[in-house]
Copies of this chain bind each other. A is one copy, B any other.
Amino acid sequence: MNTSTEARNNETGKAASRSAKTGAARVSQTERAYDQIKRRILENDMAAGFQALEQELAEMLGMSRTPVREALIRLAEEGMVEVRPRHGMRVLPVSADDMREIYEILTSLESTAAELAAARGVTDAEMAELKMTVTDMDAALEEEDLRKWAAADEKFHMLLVKFSNNARLLALVNSFWEQTHRVRLVTLRLRPKPVNSNKDHAAVADAIAKGDREAARRLHHRHRVKSGKMLVALLKEHGLTQL
């Protein structure tokens, strides 16, 4: 008589950390506000420098100011927006210097992740998953599909961090990647074909497969320093001081 066990999966279905319980996923307004605003920022619907008052956001999202405020607190803490008392929130632009800072951190954390993954050892399934991203990157380059390449690139980095067996590390790296999302979108078309990145990834994967932690760390570190420098140079070169 009770069919409530049948999941009505018409919800966002995103990376919602809702447990896979039965019943409709009850999403709080605060959560909705957070997801919505973040999505719009990441997809550049709200570009860098975009400003809006709490009330405006509330109307835009069909809710009151309270959940909007709560979402903004989180987004501000993560460095996505800034909240100035009488000016509402502002989507923080990312400068070349911001990118330097973020890449220094990502370089550090990701190469640590590579080392940890190599030290811990990854399962065959995990290694297969990792190598698949390299294959995808190669294929994407062949097809000249930069979007696809970027997706595979991101997947590789995320898997790497996941395999490090450190939840905090994963969350951190994820957060900083998000902050670079817009910038990478733009530079994707300005940079030279990322052939070397593919090679780098393959080499890192190999080192991890061999359990050579020092090599994994060193190779990934070098890879990250290279792409970081390239990106920052690209930004300066094109006068892209604020993204």
Task: Using CB atoms and an 8 Å cutoff, list the residues of chain A in contact with chain B.
Answer: 69-70, 73-74, 77-79, 100-102, 104-105, 107-109, 111-112, 116, 164, 166-169, 172
Number of copies of this protein chain within its complex: 2
17 contacts between A and B (CB under 8 A): A69-B70, A70-B70, A73-B73, A73-B74, A74-B77, A77-B77, A101-B166, A101-B168, A104-B112, A104-B169, A105-B109, A105-B166, A105-B168, A107-B112, A108-B109, A108-B112, A109-B109
Q: Point out the residues of chain B lying under 8 angstroms from A101, CB to CB.
A: 166-169
Assembled-state Cα–Cα distance A70/B30 (Å): 12
Q: Which 6 A-B pairs have the closest CB atoms?
A: A108-B112, A77-B77, A101-B168, A101-B166, A73-B73, A108-B108
Q: Point out the residues of chain B lying under 8 angstroms from A104, CB to CB.
A: 112, 116, 164, 166, 169
Q: Point out the residues of chain B lying under 8 angstroms from A107, CB to CB.
A: 112
Identity of the chain B residue whose Cβ is nearest the Cβ of A77 in the assembled complex: B77
Quick check: A105 and B172 within 8 Å, CB to CB? yes
Identity of the chain B residue whose Cβ is nearest the Cβ of A111 in the assembled complex: B108
Q: Give A119 Cβ to nearest chain B Cβ, in Å.
A: 10
Identity of the chain B residue whose Cβ is nearest the Cβ of A66 in the assembled complex: B66
